[in-house]
C-alpha cells in the first residue's frame, strides 16, 4: 500500500472541477496549505489524552472535570 499526498487526495475529492476565478484561487491556496502533508492508508484511531492508557473512561473524564 502506498501513500498519497494531500494534494493528490484533493484532486480526487471534488464532485466537480473548480470554476475559474475565486474557486480556482481558493483551491490554489488550499493546495499550498496542505502541501507536504502525507496521508497514510492506516485506519483512524481515537486516542484519549487525559489518561496515560490512551483509552476513554468515565472516571478519567470526571477527574478532569473536577
For 12-64, how does the pLDDT look when each residue is reduced to its tens digit (9 = 90+)? 677 887 788 898 888 888 888 888 877 788 888 888 888 888 888 898 889 88
pLDDT in the model for residue 14: 76
pLDDT in the model for residue 18: 79
Residue 38 pairs in a beta bridge with: 5
- Contact (Cβ atoms closer than 8 angstroms) between residue 5 and residue 31: no
- Contact (Cβ atoms closer than 8 angstroms) between residue 18 and residue 24: yes
Q: Tell me how far apart the alpha carbons of residues 24 and 4 are, in angstroms, rounded to a whole number.
A: 22
Question: What are the helix (H) ranges across the chain?
Answer: 6-13, 22-34, 58-65
Whole-model pTM: value is 0.42
Amino acid at each position: 500500500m502506498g501513500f498519497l499526498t494531500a494534494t493528490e487526495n484533493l484532486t480526487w475529492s471534488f464532485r466537480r472541477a473548480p470554476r475559474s476565478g475565486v474557486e480556482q484561487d481558493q483551491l490554489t491556496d488550499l493546495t499550498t496549505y496542505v502541501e507536504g502533508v502525507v496521508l497514510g492508508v492506516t485506519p483512524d484511531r481515537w486516542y484519549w489524552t487525559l489518561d496515560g492508557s490512551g483509552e476513554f473512561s468515565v472516571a478519567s473524564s470526571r477527574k478532569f472535570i473536577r
